[in-house]
Amino acid sequence: MEKITPRSLIDFGDLAYSEANEIFDLAEKIKKSPADYSSVCRGKIMATLFYEPSTRTQLSFQSAMMRLGGTVIGFSDPNNSSVAKGESLRDTVKIIAGYSDITVIRSPLEGVAYAASLYSKVPIINAGDGSHLHPTQTLTDLMTIRELKGTFTGLKIGLCGDLLNGRTVHSLLRALCGIGKNKYYLISTDELKIPEYIRQTLIESGSEVYELNTIEECISELDILYMTRIQRERFKSYEQYEKQAGIYILDSAKLNAAKSDLIILHPLPKVDEIEYTVDDDSRAKYFLQAENGMYVRMALVSKLLEYDKQPIKCEYPLPSERFCANPRCVTNHERYLPEKIVVKNSVRCCAYCEHTI
């Protein structure tokens, strides 16, 4: 992804490793002494623009801003009036930048946060764009791994569930690849295996990769087990979803074979993939992980607000024709967005949604 000047966080990969570590360091300090940071954002306003509702993420950001002494405005209704009246994302973003100091965007289309960052004079945080990226989830996951394991390398990490569509899985794996080598145990049905380009990225990073169909085959090896929900909303039909749902259940019986220092993570919400009794197992760390999400967002917001606002260059030529084939890419909804290409593994991709051109 094309590097954005570090005013916004669109993709975890926007951050240099040192910048990410600064955020983790700050998040840990805040977690130890939250009261010391309760005025950092006094007088500042965060705007949360949620074009797709997500209770968890929105409450996490709101809480983070308030714990820093700031306030929050925003909307979370896909049918909000300005959109219904036909206002462009570009105009919305420009105007909201006049009402706030930092803007958080969540949308069902891919590339929206990136598009917004082209027009906003305040920092943009990507709170999730379609099935593409969710960088603050990755920050949350990494902060938790660092806190509980003290390292990002030399680990045996199992990931289970929908590895084909799961953006938190993709984002976590790409982030870890950028840091060092691990052994990865990818547990899924054949239909929901990790995309080939990510598998390649893992291998090229020097990591070992095992693709498995069951949790039992590998759980005794693992240092970390990252469970994911089979997301109804990522499937085209309910039948396709039903075939995949409920196949992987982590229960106490399976955990009998696991190491005593295994940590179990899940980006939440969970449905049936983790049995309730596991919640009370000391190895279950997903509620701690959710709480860390608030602290890491506090640290991120603090850091982004330290940067001076950068002027925006708005002279973009309108594209003469569509350049991205992904129907869920923002460029096929906001037709004024300029064509931007990135080269990834020698392949030309749309800079907004990263689909192949």
Which positions lie near its own copies, rule CB under 8 A? 35, 38, 43, 45, 47, 52-56, 59-60, 62-63, 66-67, 69, 71-75, 77, 79-83, 85-87, 90-92, 94-96, 98-100, 229, 231-233, 268-272, 276, 279-280, 287, 290-291, 294, 314-315, 318, 336
Helix (H) or strand (E) holding 157: strand 156-160
**Structure token digits, residue 139:** 């920050």
List of residues 6+ apart from 279 with CB closer than 8 A:
287
| Smallest separation (angstroms) from its own copies to the CB of 304 | 19
How near is the Cβ of 326 to its own copies at its closest, in Å?
23
Q: How far is the CB of 55 from its own copies (least distance, A)?
A: 4
For residue 102, report the phi and psi dihedrals to the nearest 5 degrees. Answer: -155, 145
- 184 close to 210: Cβ distance less than 8 angstroms: yes
Residue 177 CB, shortest distance to its own copies, in Å, is 29
Compare residues 197 and 316 and give the one whose CB is closer to its own copies.
316
Provide the minimum distance between the beta carbon of 34 and its own copies in the complex, in angstroms, as a whole number.
9
In the complex, the smallest distance separating the C-beta of residue 141 from its own copies, rounded to whole angstroms, is: 16
Place of tokens 């009794």: 277
* Kind and range of the H or E run holding 210: strand 208-212
Residues near 217 by Cβ (< 8 Å), separated by ≥ 6?
Answer: 187
How many distinct helices (H) and strands (E) make up the chain?
12, 11
Q: Based on CB atoms, which residue is closest to its own copies, 114 or 119? A: 119
Q: In the complex with its own copies, which residue's Cβ is closer, 306 or 315?
A: 315
Nearer to its own copies, 239 or 280 (CB): 280
Give me the least distance between CB of 192 and its own copies, in Å please. Answer: 18
- CA 157 to chain CA centroid, nearest Å: 18
**Closer Cβ to its own copies, 39 or 200, answer by number:** 39
Give the nearer residue to its own copies in terms of CB position, either 175 or 250.
Answer: 250
Q: Please state, in angstroms and as integers, the Cα–Cα distance from residue 88 to each residue in 9, 201, 340, following that order.
A: 21, 36, 19
Q: Are 27 and 295 in contact (CB under 8 A)?
A: yes
Shorter beta-carbon distance to its own copies: residue 91 or 216: 91
Scan for tokens 């992980």, then name that residue: 289
Identify any residues that bridge with 284 across adjacent strands, giving them in sequence order: 264
